[in-house]
């Protein structure tokens, strides 16, 4: 196991370095100008040229790349890669990103399973064309429609709540908790609401109540609203407005992709001999799906999810910039538009590290579930 983990770490490090090299060259070649360009209105051309020479901006790209990498390992990146020129700390975007990603993944994963759950095992291959069409619509057409439909309604709903219950935002600095602690509480609230919605959908679609799921979601919301005396309910609710809009649109994006993945994986597993044997023995579809198909589909699904993280990042950039949510996606977009290449590279490094961590975690879990993976 230890040898396997070290092999995965070595692979991840080499992948990160290659990814950063491509991003560094892409940013410096595709984006016109450099981070000193905005100063051209305040400094003369001669002064700008001298400053570029002093800071090494005119050096070859490979020299600037290796200098940037050395700065990462030497811990000298604070003024460049992990902070925007505006002063915003890039590390502070991690929690806002998780606040929308975790609920979106949870909601999308459940919804994507509905076609397979509702279709008899013998007809899964016949339902493929219809479900693939629906998935394509989710990816390409539904997100802008959903944004158009919910944007005004969400604004009206929160305006109604504010006027009816006299809700007002309190500056986080005036609360007895830090901004990161508030972000964690908001993350728990958003995840608790999403989990409650998922359990409610399960009751509506399957006429089955998952007591553990409902209890867990209620416990999370109880912890947020009752045990956190320092946090006003109005602050949590009002700060969740753009988050719910972002979660709704991201979920639509992810649902389409997950349906396509789930269709291929489920249909392949459904043709396996042990599944055919279970059907011949008269096992219920619910038992076959949950105990055999769903469990065996974790590895391929998780692997495909990891490979699809660049698509997830692109979705974050588009959706967060549209909804005004201040996560990694919108900050990355702002950094690129402001020619802040150091901040953009810092975000790419952060995303690459998170991707590598997720990949290693999934690989280890796959080995624990199926030791045959180590032999491949």
pLDDT, tens digit, 9 for 90 and up, residues 154-182: 888 888 877 777 777 666 656 667 778 88
Q: Which ranges constitute the DSSP H helices of the chain?
A: 2-30, 45-55, 61-73, 94-118, 128-140, 142-165, 179-206, 211-222, 233-239, 241-270, 273-280, 285-288, 294-296, 298-307, 309-323, 328-337, 341-369
| Structural contact between residues 20 and 351, judged by C-beta atoms closer than 8 angstroms | no
Cα separation, 45 vs 376, whole angstroms: 59
| Structural contact between residues 140 and 257, judged by C-beta atoms closer than 8 angstroms | no
Average pLDDT over residues 81-97: 68
| Structural contact between residues 278 and 131, judged by C-beta atoms closer than 8 angstroms | no
Q: What is the pLDDT of residue 54?
A: 81
Query: Could you give phi then psi for residue 43, rounded to 5 degrees?
Result: -120, 155
Residue 84, pLDDT > 60, answer no
What SS3 class is residue 83? strand
**What is the four-CA torsion angle of 92, 241, 161, 170, rounded to 10 degrees?**
10
Average pLDDT over residues 267-278: 75
Residue 87, pLDDT > 50, answer yes
Separation in Å, CA 301 to CA 64, 198, 265, 373: 38, 20, 7, 15
High-pLDDT (> 70) share of the chain, %: 74
DSSP string of 93-117, one letter each residue: GHHHHHHHHHHHHHHHHHHHHHHHH
Rounded to the nearest integer, the mean pLDDT of the chain is 75
Q: Which of 115-124, 150-159, 211-220 has the lowest mean pLDDT?
A: 115-124
Average pLDDT over residues 199-219: 77
Give per-residue burial for 102-136: e unless 16+ CB within 10 Å, then b: ebbbbbbbbbbbbbbbebebeebeebbeebbebbe
Separation in Å, CA 270 to CA 151, 223, 258, 278: 40, 41, 17, 10
Residue 79, pLDDT > 50, answer no
* Tokens at 353, concatenated: 């590290």
Residue 136, pLDDT > 60, answer yes
Average pLDDT over residues 106-124: 73
| Structural contact between residues 330 and 320, judged by C-beta atoms closer than 8 angstroms | yes
Residue 104, pLDDT > 80, answer yes
Residue 78, pLDDT > 50, answer no
> What is the value of pTM for the model shown?
0.76
pLDDT, tens digit, 9 for 90 and up, residues 285-324: 777 776 777 777 776 777 777 777 767 777 788 888 888 8
Burial class (CB in 10 A: 0-12, 13-18, 19+), 1: exposed
Q: Which of 148, 147, 181, 163 is nearest to 238 (CA)?
A: 163
Cα separation, 235 vs 246, whole angstroms: 18
Q: What is the pLDDT of residue 88?
A: 60
Instruction: Look up residue 247 and give its DSSP letter.
Output: H
Domain boundaries defined on the chain: 90-337
Cα separation, 153 vs 347, whole angstroms: 33
Handedness of CA 4, 10, 12, 18 (dihedral sign): negative
Q: What is the pLDDT of residue 143?
A: 62
High-pLDDT (> 90) share of the chain, %: 2
pLDDT, tens digit, 9 for 90 and up, residues 320-360: 888 888 888 888 888 877 777 777 888 888 888 877 887 77
pLDDT, tens digit, 9 for 90 and up, residues 6-55: 777 888 888 888 888 888 887 777 766 666 776 777 778 888 788 778 87
């Amino acid at each position: 196991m230890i040898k396997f983990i070290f092999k995965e770490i070595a692979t991840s490090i080499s992948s990160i370095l290659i990814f950063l090299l491509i991003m560094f060259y892409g940013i410096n070649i595709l984006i016109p100008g450099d981070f000193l360009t905005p100063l051209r209105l305040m400094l003369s051309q001669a002064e700008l040229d001298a400053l570029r020479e002093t800071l090494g901006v005119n050096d070859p790209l490979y020299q600037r790349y290796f200098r940037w990498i050395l700065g990462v390992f030497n811990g000298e990146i604070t003024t460049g890669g992990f902070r925007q020129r505006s002063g915003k700390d890039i590390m502070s975007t991690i929690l806002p990103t998780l606040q929308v990603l975790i609920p979106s993944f949870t909601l999308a994963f459940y919804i994507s399973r509905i076609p397979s759950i509702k279709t008899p095992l013998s007809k899964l291959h016949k339902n493929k064309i219809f479900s693939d069409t629906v998935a394509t619509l989710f990816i390409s057409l539904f997100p802008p429609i959903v944004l158009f439909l919910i944007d005004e309604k969400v604004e009206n709903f929160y305006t109604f709540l504010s006027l009816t219950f006299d809700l007002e935002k309190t500056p986080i600095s005036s609360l007895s908790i830090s901004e990161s602690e508030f972000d964690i509480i908001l993350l728990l609230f958003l995840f608790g609401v999403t989990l409650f919605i998922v359990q409610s959908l399960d009751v509506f679609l399957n006429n089955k109540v998952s007591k553990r799921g409902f209890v867990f979601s209620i416990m999370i919301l109880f912890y947020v609203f009752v045990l956190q005396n320092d946090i006003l309910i109005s602050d949590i609710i009002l700060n969740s407005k753009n988050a719910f809009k972002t979660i709704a649109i991201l979920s639509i994006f992810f649902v389409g992709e997950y349906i396509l993945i789930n269709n291929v994986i489920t249909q392949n597993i459904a043709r396996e001999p042990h599944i055919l044997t279970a059907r011949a023995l008269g096992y219920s579809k619910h038992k076959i799906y949950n105990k055999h198909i769903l469990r065996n589909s974790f590895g391929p699904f998780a692997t495909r999810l990891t490979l699809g993280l660049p698509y997830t990042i692109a979705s974050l950039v588009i959706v967060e910039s549209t909804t005004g949510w201040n996560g990694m996606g919108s900050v990355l977009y702002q950094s690129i538009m402001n020619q802040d290449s150091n901040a953009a590279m810092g975000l790419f490094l952060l995303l690459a590290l998170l991707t590598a961590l997720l990949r290693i975690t999934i690989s280890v879990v796959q080995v624990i579930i199926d030791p045959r993976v180590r032999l491949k």
